[in-house]
Structure 1
Amino acid sequence: MRALVQRVTEAAVRVDGAVLAEIGPGLLIFICAMRDDPADAPSKLAAKIAKLRIFADDDGKMNRSLSDTGGAALVVSQFTLAADTSRGNRPGFSTAAPPSEGAPAYEAFADAMAKLGIPTARGQFGADMKISLVNDGPVTIWIDTAV
């Protein structure tokens, strides 16, 4: 799985003009299931992200995790994280899991975040979503479970 994690003060996802989900301080997490991801990838990635120390402590150092701060997560599926731009100018997405595998992996990731005690909001898998956010820092982290 791949994730792009952004520390935010707020974030929201809209579908067809209506707010589907929104959070205050926490993480906006874009998720892409990849072909041949192991079955435990969603839970392992959720555990890693929940413990990722990217929030400031009392001294202003990035030393606290989402679990430590009580922040929320907004989880959004984004197959374009699988983009291969090595040939030409049109990205290829053949390394992304097909929707029949990607949707359950996305849901398993969001469920795993919630089971870790993180208030978790979700986008809509496969929908044309509009995302708004206020990036805090900015702090943006790329995580690839295959590496």
Structure 2
Amino acid sequence: MANADTVPKARVVVQQCLSARLQVKPPSDENEAEYVEVGRGIIIYLCFLKGATEDLVEKMVRAILAVRLSESEPNGKLVSVLDLPGDVLIVPQATLGGKTKGKAMQYHSNIAKTEGQDLYTKFCTMCEETFETSPKTKEANKSVKHGTYGNRQVLSVVTNGPYTHVLDF
């Protein structure tokens, strides 16, 4: 059994994309569905687990936005999404905390929904603030978009990979 220091407090999947479109509000009798869209950059699928804190969110944002996972052109050298510069789409993904038990999935490791919502909002805000203060992303008019926490969402992705990484924090 792992000790408390090695048990992840958050799980993230980062995927390189050429474009992505996420439905953030389903259609209703009165309104059409609402979407957010990004161009070339990364998609961050995000799940907070028990024990996650605001301090962890700061560490995650710094690490994810700085890691060199995006292919630059024309040489294909790996750069961070800030150096690309590229867009970011953040997708809440509670299912990343699941574990199998027999033929079923269980989510006992996930943080409580209200705590997860607060940390997700903080994560999105910190990413947006980082983009606003980064010269390359600001100059290139790149942005951070995000999904709606706690709702089922429809996602369409165009990727030149897939180039996908799982990160535990």
Tell me, yes or no, whether TM beats 0.5. Answer: yes
1:139 aligns with 2:156: no
1:43 aligns with 2:58: yes
8 Å CA contact retained: 1:12, 1:19: no
Q: How many angstroms does 1:28 deviate by?
A: 1.0
1:83-132: per-residue Cα shift (whole Å, max 9, x none)?
111x2011110101111100011111111111211621010111110011
1:129 aligns with 2:129: no
Count of equivalent residues: 143
Q: How many angstroms does 1:46 deviate by?
A: 1.0
Q: CA RMSD in A?
A: 1.3
| Greater C-alpha Rg | 2
Aligned residue number for residue 104 of structure 2: 90
Report percent identity of matched pairs: 27
Amino acid aligned to 1:121: K
Aligned residue number for residue 36 of structure 2: 21
Secondary structure at the counterpart of residue 13 of structure 2: strand
Structure 2: segments with no counterpart, 5+ residues: 1-9, 28-32, 132-136, 138-142
**TM-score normalised by length of structure 2:** 0.80
Hey, what's the Cα distance between the residues in 2 that align with 1:80 and 1:50?
A: 22
Hey, what's the Cα distance between the residues in 2 that align with 1:137 and 1:64?
A: 15
1:100 aligns with 2:109: no
Secondary structure at the counterpart of residue 40 of structure 1: helix
1:11 aligns with 2:20: yes
Secondary structure at the counterpart of residue 58 of structure 2: helix
**TM-score normalised by length of structure 1:** 0.91
Secondary structure at the counterpart of residue 76 of structure 1: strand
Amino acid aligned to 1:53: R
